[in-house]
């Protein structure tokens, strides 16, 4: 009986060990599908949420291995908010994700710096997955909700930035439920929709199925990313 229990225990450790190695040492030079990339991110988020991160690919040999070339499996466009760190909340490491951060994860109204960065990842790095990631309690979206009908300008360049989030607030105005949560979700949807039809690089790849675009909202309270 004891023998059986031990054998089972070793078997369990063996499987867990194999899974750990799989997550820790993938061959990044091999192209992966968008589904594979998304599954990988969501599995990492589940580990993070459960308080069981593996912290993969953060050792000196890991960053040395990617010094000559990068093979990220996803582009993530997310907010600059200090609580929304993609490598942490998806439990990935160096070389895994190509990240663009801008307050309010603005895409449609953003300029060439943001749009060109996304296109670069798709055209040059062959990234199969694009994720637009908003988050709960987003300050940029909150400002847009509060100032939607106000004529008072916010100081400096903040006013122009918040104006770029207002279309999402306007589009979600009549939805039932919490206005801020609705606007955050809508802002992600507008970003996904914009990119799906965007330009000569991304739109054809979305149409052919070689690139997939998904939206998600990260919940600051639970640590969970929910796809929208």
Under rule CB under 5 A, residue 138 binds Zn ion? yes
Under rule CB under 5 A, residue 133 binds Zn ion? no
Which positions from 32 to 61 touch Zn ion by CB under 5 A, shown as an x/- string? ------------------------------
Under rule CB under 5 A, residue 145 binds Zn ion? no
Under rule CB under 5 A, residue 79 binds Zn ion? yes
Our CB check for Zn ion shows the closer of 37 and 99 to be: 99
Whose structure tokens read 């801020």?
180
Terminal C-alpha separation, the chain: 48
- Give the single-character DSSP code of 172: T
Least distance in angstroms from the C-beta of 96 to Zn ion: 22
Our CB check for Zn ion shows the closer of 48 and 218 to be: 218
Least distance in angstroms from the C-beta of 185 to Zn ion: 13
Number of helical (H) and strand (E) elements in the chain, helices listed first: 10, 5
Query: Is the distance from CB of 133 to CB of 74 less than 8 angstroms?
Result: no
How many residues sit in the footprint of Zn ion (CB under 5 A)? 3
Could you give the C-alpha distances from 93 to 20, 33, 86, 146, 207, in angstroms and in order?
14, 19, 10, 37, 30
Query: Is the distance from CB of 120 to CB of 113 less than 8 angstroms?
Result: no
Under rule CB under 5 A, residue 168 binds Zn ion? no
Under rule CB under 5 A, residue 89 binds Zn ion? no
Under rule CB under 5 A, residue 81 binds Zn ion? yes
The rounded distance, in Å, linking the Cα atoms of 125 and 73 is: 9
Query: Is the distance from CB of 28 to CB of 37 less than 8 angstroms?
Result: no
Q: Candidates 32-40, 78-86, 169-177, 211-219 — which segment interacts with Zn ion by CB under 5 A?
A: 78-86
Least distance in angstroms from the C-beta of 65 to Zn ion: 33
Least distance in angstroms from the C-beta of 104 to Zn ion: 6
- Residue 202's closest CA among 70, 95, 107? 107
Residues forming the site for Zn ion (CB under 5 A): 79, 81, 138
């Amino acid at each position: 009986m004891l023998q059986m229990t031990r054998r089972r225990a070793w078997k369990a450790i063996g499987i867990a060990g194999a899974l750990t190695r799989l997550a820790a040492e993938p061959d990044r030079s091999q192209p992966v599908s968008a589904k594979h990339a998304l599954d990988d991110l969501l599995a990492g988020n589940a580990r993070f949420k459960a308080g069981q991160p593996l912290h993969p690919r953060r050792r000196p040999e890991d960053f040395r291995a990617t010094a000559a070339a990068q093979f990220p499996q996803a582009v993530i466009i997310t907010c600059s908010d200090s609580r929304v760190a993609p490598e942490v909340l998806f439990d990935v490491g160096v070389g895994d994700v190509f990240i663009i951060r801008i307050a309010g994860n603005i895409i449609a109204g953003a300029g060439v710096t943001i749009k060109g960065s996304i296109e670069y990842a798709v055209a040059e790095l062959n990234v199969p997955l694009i994720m637009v990631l908003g988050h709960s309690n987003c300050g940029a979206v909150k400002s847009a909700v509060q100032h939607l009908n106000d004529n008072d300008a916010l100081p400096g360049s903040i006013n122009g930035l918040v104006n770029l989030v207002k279309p999402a607030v306007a589009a979600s105005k009549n939805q039932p439920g919490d206005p801020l949560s609705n606007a955050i979700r809508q802002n992600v949807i507008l970003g996904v929709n914009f990119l799906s039809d965007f330009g000569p690089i991304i739109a054809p790849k979305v149409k052919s199925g070689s690139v997939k675009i998904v939206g998600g909202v990260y919940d600051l309270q639970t640590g969970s990313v929910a796809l929208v």
